[in-house]
Amino acid sequence: MRFCNHRLFCKSSELLSEDFQANSMHAIITDPPYGLEVLGNKWDKILPPQKIWEECFKVLRPGGFCLAFAHTTLYHRLACQLEDVGFLIRDCLCWGYATGNPRPYNIDKAIDKREGIETDSEQYPYEPISDAAKLWKGWSNTLKTAWEPIVVAQKPLEGNIVENVLKYQVGGMNIGECRIPYASEKDRKSLESFGGFAERDCGDGRYFSANAGGKKQANVHPDGRWPANLLWLEPLYSEYDHIFMIPKPHKREKRSYNEHDTVKPIRLMEHLIKLVTPRPSVVESDVYVLDPFAGSGTTLVACRRLDRTPIGYENDAASFAIAEKRLSEKVNKLDIFEV
């Protein structure tokens, strides 16, 4: 009989190899510190110690994937950390949400302050007063964050991909289970014209490309569209290439007691888990997913909903307590998404 249990440790994941054997985890899916102190969190100020990634590499099965969230300005450093311990960088997923909150430094306002002019902190938009400030009206120092990158790293295969998958049950991506469902029957039928059409039939040229033969390079499949490396929450206009849309978590999903600042949506984590791990019922064994930076436990909750066995490490006592409480609740696959 298979058991979908969980193990959550209140300690640093630098000690991973004390608890688990080499090549034991099917996947690593995590939201580590970004190396920024944007929200005033001390734990988020620096990138993870290299030792943690070394430990992760040891316990991950050959061919297993490590999916790690990052910040747009320091994605490259996290990717380098993973490369330095032996991972291969396979891709970059983009989780877009378009609802980020910019924290700008207004140059025109700063110039007025420098000139000794008293400014109104509540005035928006700010109207510059001095001649020098007026020259720089509307200038700032940042864009609004509307997406987060996810490093797609893979432990090298042992042999070829077929040999690796058969031995370790990992190494590929489960495209079939992660296809993007059609919005409606009308949406599905609209693809019938893409089987062999002239370029003139392909709709808005901004969204399509044609090969040298004048045929659209379409990935038509009866079960849905091929999942992309773009994960979005807002609808985008396109006649053909729809993408996976994931809303940010609301309070019901996070739970009222969860005060963690960087909670990810459960549906997003479920998508990532399904993408890189097999169903336990298919491989007839437990499937282990490690989160070395468990935070408030979203990855672990998503694992339980998908019958994967979650393993989490969190050395912040407050976050650990939140994760434990979330995991103690009965798994309900519907009600947490109802507003």
Distance in Å from the first CA to the final CA of the chain? 36
Could you tell me if residue 305 is inside a domain? yes
Q: Of 71, 77, 65, 74, which Cα lies nearest the Cα of 94?
A: 71
Note whether 19 and 134 are same-domain residues.
no
Give 141-146 contacts, CB < 8 A, sequence gap 24+. 141/104, 141/105, 141/107, 142/102, 142/103, 142/104, 142/105, 143/102, 144/100, 144/101, 144/102, 145/72, 145/100, 145/101, 145/102, 146/96, 146/97, 146/98, 146/99, 146/100
Residues 240 and 206 placed together within one structural domain of the fold: no
**238 domain-assigned:** yes
pLDDT at 272: 95
Q: For residue 111, what are the domain limits?
A: 104-141
Tell me: do 59 and 137 sit in the same domain. no
Token pair belonging to 296:
């408030």
For residue 254, what is the domain's CATH number?
3.40.50.150
Examine the domain organization and report whether 69 and 137 are in the same domain: no
Q: How far apart are CA 325 and CA 255, in angstroms?
A: 10
Same domain for 88 and 49? Answer: yes
Q: Are residues 274 and 195 in the same domain?
A: no
- In this structure, the answer to whether residues 206 and 243 fall within a common structural domain is no
Same-domain pairing of 271 and 165: yes
CA 18 from chain centre, in angstroms, equals 28
- Residues 81, 210 share a domain: no
Cα 324 to Cα 158, 320, 321: the distances in Å are 36, 6, 5
Do 210 and 67 share a structural domain? Answer: no
C-beta of residue 229 within 8 angstroms of C-beta of residue 93: yes
16 lies in the same domain as 133:
no
Residues 192 and 271 in one domain: no
Q: What is the pTM of this model?
A: 0.83
Query: Which two structure tokens, joined as six digits, stand for 313?
Result: 């490490």
pLDDT of residue 239: 41
Q: Per-residue pLDDT for the chain (339 aa), expressed as one digit of tens each?
A: 344 577 999 999 998 989 999 999 999 999 999 877 655 555 556 789 999 999 999 999 999 999 999 999 899 999 999 999 999 999 999 988 766 777 788 999 999 999 999 998 888 889 999 999 999 999 999 888 888 899 999 999 999 999 999 999 999 999 999 888 777 777 777 666 555 544 444 455 554 444 445 555 555 677 887 888 887 655 554 443 444 556 666 667 767 666 666 778 898 999 999 999 999 999 999 999 999 999 989 999 999 999 999 999 999 899 999 999 988 887 655 444 443
